[in-house]
């Protein structure tokens, strides 16, 4: 059946429209009244903060994003990092690592998170264009993510172009990492010199110490044998007498870190610069070790010669009561014979080191040249039972004549010529190196005074 309809007149339609508008106005009035009533009953709000709340970082684990940064794909980087929020996102990776669990008594797999930032990756890899794009999109030049800032990575890599870019965008050259190191402390390779120069030119504090150990950049450079770095820091006012929390000067640090040649032939360069700048070669550091103690313990003949030339004392004792000679003897078993470790012993004896305690001879009995030097520096050969039992049988067979002469001389009076040699050397003391060449003596006798190695004890 057809539905009955009727047409509204124009006046009826205007009346209905007006009525609907009046109803809508009434609804808005009631809603506003309810809102005002709620505001009156609510407690007063605190005044707005002076600073906006910190922005919550975005986290990203997408491998595609990571790969774009690690490969320096500039077009992909531009398409991903378009604003400040994305430029400052935290890139996170999670890996499973074996961790010892005391409660369970076994090794268990534990997830470990590592975090970094897009700008850190670009700076460490030397992608200058990517780093510039991120900075222009609002990346924070001093954001410490994952323990380091971008400038730390640029200095450690080293990437001078990225370091310059970051500094031009206002990066702080004295920013400390989570470990308490500034970018200048991370210039630890020979090719990091341009980065060090940039940092100093932009206001890096050359005497700034690390948070935990108070090591300066000069400590770091000297310990790694970076002679050019040491010279640079000294020109910028580095203090060669500055001590770490353990009492180490840069010269102490250089000698303590030195390894026997030829494994690290660069190390004397840093020490030479520090010594020439006025570092005290007698300053005792950790456990009372002087630089000479450390140089002798590490088999560094060149360092020992340098320190003695600058006034190091070969007779001083460390906290354990050992002299530099004792340290040199204890290190003999680590130095191969071809390195001629007896040279350091002869050097110490020439600069006034006294005779060693007989019990120390067991440390050098396996190296006949060193044993010969020490026995010939003494007015009386001590009993052989203090050392003879420590000589390996195969070495005894190889040097039978020398060891037999040393055993025969034990406890016997020495010849008058030898006693005169000991008396003269004792009288000259530390002046021996400078005085012996000028003595009015025949060359053979002058050579005899310098304890030549003859392969026998007479």
Tokens 């929020």 map to which residue?
A: 85
What per-residue confidence (pLDDT) applies to 374? 93
Residue 109, strand partner residues: 98
Reading the block at residue 270, the tokens are 């840093």
Residue 42 has pLDDT above 50, yes or no: no
- Helix pair 250-257, 267-276: axis angle to 10 deg: 160
Assigned domain for 424 exists = yes
Assigned domain for 39 exists = no
Stated pTM of the model: 0.76
What per-residue confidence (pLDDT) applies to 67? 94
Q: From CA 8, how far away is CA 10, in angstroms rounded?
A: 7
Assigned domain for 228 exists = no
Q: Under a CB-based contact definition with an 8 Å cutoff, are residues 145 and 188 in contact?
A: no
Q: pLDDT of 15-24, one tens digit each?
A: 666 666 666 7
Tokens 């935290």 map to which residue?
A: 90
What per-residue confidence (pLDDT) applies to 316? 94
Reading the block at residue 115, the tokens are 């975090």
Q: Under a CB-based contact definition with an 8 Å cutoff, are residues 107 and 97 in contact?
A: no
Q: What is the CB neighbour count within 10 angstroms for residue 327?
A: 24
Assigned domain for 452 exists = yes
Model confidence band, residue 260 (pLDDT cutoffs 50, 70, 90): low
What per-residue confidence (pLDDT) applies to 31? 73
Looking at the structure of the chain, the number of domains it has is 2
Assigned domain for 273 exists = no
CATH of the domain at 164: 1.25.40.20
Q: pLDDT of 276-298, one tens digit each?
A: 566 788 888 888 999 999 999 98
Percent pLDDT > 70 in the chain is 84
What per-residue confidence (pLDDT) applies to 53? 56
Q: pLDDT of 83-141, one tens digit each?
A: 999 999 999 988 777 777 787 777 777 777 899 999 999 999 999 999 999 999 999 99
Mean pLDDT computed over every residue of the chain:
86
Containing structural domain, residue 419: 364-458
Domain stop point among 143, 177, 211:
177
Assigned domain for 331 exists = no
User: What is the DSSP secondary-structure string of 382-432?
Assistant: PPGGGTGGGS-HHHHHHTHHHHHHHHHHTTSBPPHHHHHHHHHHHHHGGGH
Residue 266 has pLDDT above 60, yes or no: no
Q: Under a CB-based contact definition with an 8 Å cutoff, are residues 122 and 156 in contact?
A: no
Assigned domain for 295 exists = no
Assigned domain for 352 exists = no
Domain stop point among 115, 143, 177:
177
Domain stop point among 177, 195, 228:
177
């Amino acid at each position: 059946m057809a539905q009955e309809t009727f047409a509204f007149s124009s006046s009826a339609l205007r009346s209905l429209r007006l009525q609907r508008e009046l109803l809508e106005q009434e609804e808005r009035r009631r809603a506003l009244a309810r809102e005002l009533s709620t505001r009156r009953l609510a407690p007063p709000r605190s005044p707005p903060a002076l600073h906006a709340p910190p922005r919550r970082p975005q986290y990203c684990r997408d491998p595609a994003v990571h790969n774009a940064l690690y490969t320096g794909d500039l077009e992909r980087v531009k398409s991903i990092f378009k604003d400040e929020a994305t430029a400052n996102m935290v890139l996170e990776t999670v890996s499973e690592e074996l961790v010892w669990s005391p409660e369970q008594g076994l090794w268990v797999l534990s997830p470990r998170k590592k975090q970094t930032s897009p700008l850190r990756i670009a700076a460490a890899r030397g992608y200058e264009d990517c780093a510039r794009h991120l900075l222009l999109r609002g990346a924070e030049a001093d954001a410490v993510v994952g323990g380091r800032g971008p400038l730390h990575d640029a200095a450690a890599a080293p990437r001078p172009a990225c370091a310059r870019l970051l500094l031009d965008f206002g990066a702080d050259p004295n920013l400390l990492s989570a470990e308490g190191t500034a970018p200048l402390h991370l210039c630890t390779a020979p090719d990091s010199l341009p980065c060090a120069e940039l940092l100093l030119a932009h206001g890096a504090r050359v005497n700034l110490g690390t948070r935990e150990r108070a090591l300066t950049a000069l400590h770091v450079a000297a310990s790694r044998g970076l002679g050019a770095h040491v010279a640079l820091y000294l020109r910028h006012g580095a203090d060669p007498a500055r001590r770490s929390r353990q009492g180490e000067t840069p010269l102490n640090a250089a000698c303590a870190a030195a390894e026997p040649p030829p494994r690290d032939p660069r190390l004397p360069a840093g020490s030479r610069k520090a010594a020439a700048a006025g570092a005290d070669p007698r300053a005792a550091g950790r456990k009372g070790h002087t630089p000479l103690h450390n140089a002798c313990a590490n088999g560094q003949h060149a360092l020992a010669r340098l320190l003695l030339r600058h006034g190091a004392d070969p007779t001083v004792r460390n906290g354990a009561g050992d002299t530099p000679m004792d340290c040199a003897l204890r290190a003999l078993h680590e130095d191969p014979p071809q390195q001629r470790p007896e040279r350091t012993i002869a050097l110490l004896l020439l600069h006034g080191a006294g005779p060693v305690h007989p019990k120390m001879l067991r440390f050098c009995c396996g190296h006949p040249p060193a044993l010969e030097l020490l026995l010939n520096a003494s007015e009386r050969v001590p009993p052989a039972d203090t050392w003879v039992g420590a000589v390996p049988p195969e070495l005894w067979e190889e040097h039978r004549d020398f060891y037999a002469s040393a055993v025969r001389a034990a406890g016997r009076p020495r010849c008058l010529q030898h006693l005169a040699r000991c008396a003269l050397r004792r009288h000259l003391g530390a002046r021996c190196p400078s005085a012996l060449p000028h003595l009015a003596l025949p060359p053979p006798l002058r050579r005899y005074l310098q304890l030549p190695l003859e392969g026998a004890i007479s």
